[in-house]
Structure 1
Amino acid sequence: MSRGFVKEEDQEEIPMIPPRADLPNGVTNYVTSLGYNNLLAERKSLTIEKESLQTNDEKELRIANNLISAKMQLLNERISTAKIVDLSKQPENEVRFGATVLVKIDNATTIQQFQIVGVDEANIAKGKISFLSPIARMLISKQVGDTTFLNLGKVKRVFKIVAISYS
């Protein structure tokens, strides 16, 4: 039957699912072990949320269930494609995935810290940047003492690598 013959009040809203962090097609989904554990914890949280749904309204229950199921589907895709990078096997003297990098930007007196992580782990407020970000791409393969540049429009920012660690 065509949707044109369904009563308006019987039509359900299609839930809007916020997209996960962008991971272009064909790009390996690198994660740290902490990032992978966070994905698993998120899945457990969604499972608990779905199991504890309570409402007397059947339509609301269906919509809530559909929303959680859609989030779970996106999450399961990320988990199934995750490739955990063993940070203990990364070269200690070179910036690679998982590195925590201390940098001095331009002539600043303070040191900035960035950890290069997977797209789902990235959180600039915590100093965690996606391995796909311009800053991460610029830092990868550099060593302590190296200087690299990031062009921001007409401004050229200078990044000097002070320290590299993996933890």
Structure 2
Amino acid sequence: MIKVPMTAGGFASLKEELRWRQQEERQRIIEAISEARSHGDLSENAEYHSAKEAQSLNEGRINELEDLVARAEVIDISKLSGSKIKFGATVQLVDEDTEETKTYQIVGDQEADVKSGRISISSPIARALIGKEVGDSVEVNAPGGPRGYEIVKLSFV
């Protein structure tokens, strides 16, 4: 079984989504199917087909979440330290071309959100950063072409 690394916050979010889908969303969909059935002929009932599709999507996501929760390897970032970048690190970078400063935390695939400054451990930028230290320069093969960054700060928060 391949473990899935994630932070405690990411694990809590997955468990909350799983709880919501199992206890609230599942019940809402069952009620929608029941309501649509009461409208008669199911073969031409768009509400019924829509509710059944929603049920299928919800059950699929429940299965996916159960698998992720079972395989989760929760890493307590507060116990991490060191001078090298690894999972859970918060890294401040300076773009060598534009002098723009960016801050990212390296997290698991399921909790990545670039807009919030959380990048996936499997992203090109995270892979380039792993094992580097403050003061190092990295080149990232981004979709828009290669980008150079200098690492200016590293913390485990």
Q: Same fold (TM over 0.5)?
A: yes
In the alignment, the residues of structure 1 paired with residue 150 and residue 54 of structure 2 have an alpha-carbon distance, to the nearest angstrom, of 49
Classify the secondary structure of the residue corresponding to 1:151: strand
Aligned twin of 1:46: 21
Alpha-carbon spacing, 1:85–1:153, altered in 2? closer, same or farther (3 Å): closer
In the alignment, the residues of structure 2 paired with residue 132 and residue 93 of structure 1 have an alpha-carbon distance, to the nearest angstrom, of 21
Aligned twin of 1:13: none
Cα RMSD between the aligned structures?
2.2
* 1:110, distance to aligned residue in structure 2 (A): 2.5
Bigger proportion of residues as helix: 2
Q: Which runs of 5+ in 1 are unaligned?
A: 1-25
Classify the secondary structure of the residue corresponding to 2:109: coil
* 1:45, distance to aligned residue in structure 2 (A): 1.7
* 1:109, distance to aligned residue in structure 2 (A): 2.9
Contact 2:124–2:142, Cα closer than 8 Å, also in 1: no
Alpha-carbon spacing, 1:67–1:155, altered in 2? closer, same or farther (3 Å): closer
In the alignment, the residues of structure 2 paired with residue 35 and residue 86 of structure 1 have an alpha-carbon distance, to the nearest angstrom, of 11
Q: Work out which of the residue numbers 18, 36, 51 in structure 1 matches 2:11.
A: 36
* 1:105, distance to aligned residue in structure 2 (A): 1.2
1:1-167, aligned counterparts within 5 Å?
28-47=3-22, 48-53=24-29, 54-55=31-32, 56-58=35-37, 60=48, 61-152=51-142, 155-167=145-157
Contact 2:136–2:150, Cα closer than 8 Å, also in 1: yes
Code of the residue aligned with 1:144 in structure 2: it is: V
1:92-144 CA-to-partner distances (Å, cap 9, x unmatched) read 32211011100011132331111111111111111211101110010011111
In the alignment, the residues of structure 2 paired with residue 94 and residue 151 of structure 1 have an alpha-carbon distance, to the nearest angstrom, of 21
* 1:27, distance to aligned residue in structure 2 (A): 5.3
* 1:33, distance to aligned residue in structure 2 (A): 0.4
Alpha-carbon spacing, 1:152–1:66, altered in 2? closer, same or farther (3 Å): closer
* 1:31, distance to aligned residue in structure 2 (A): 0.3
1:53-91 CA-to-partner distances (Å, cap 9, x unmatched) read 322123635443333212101111111111011212322
- TM norm structure 1: 0.75
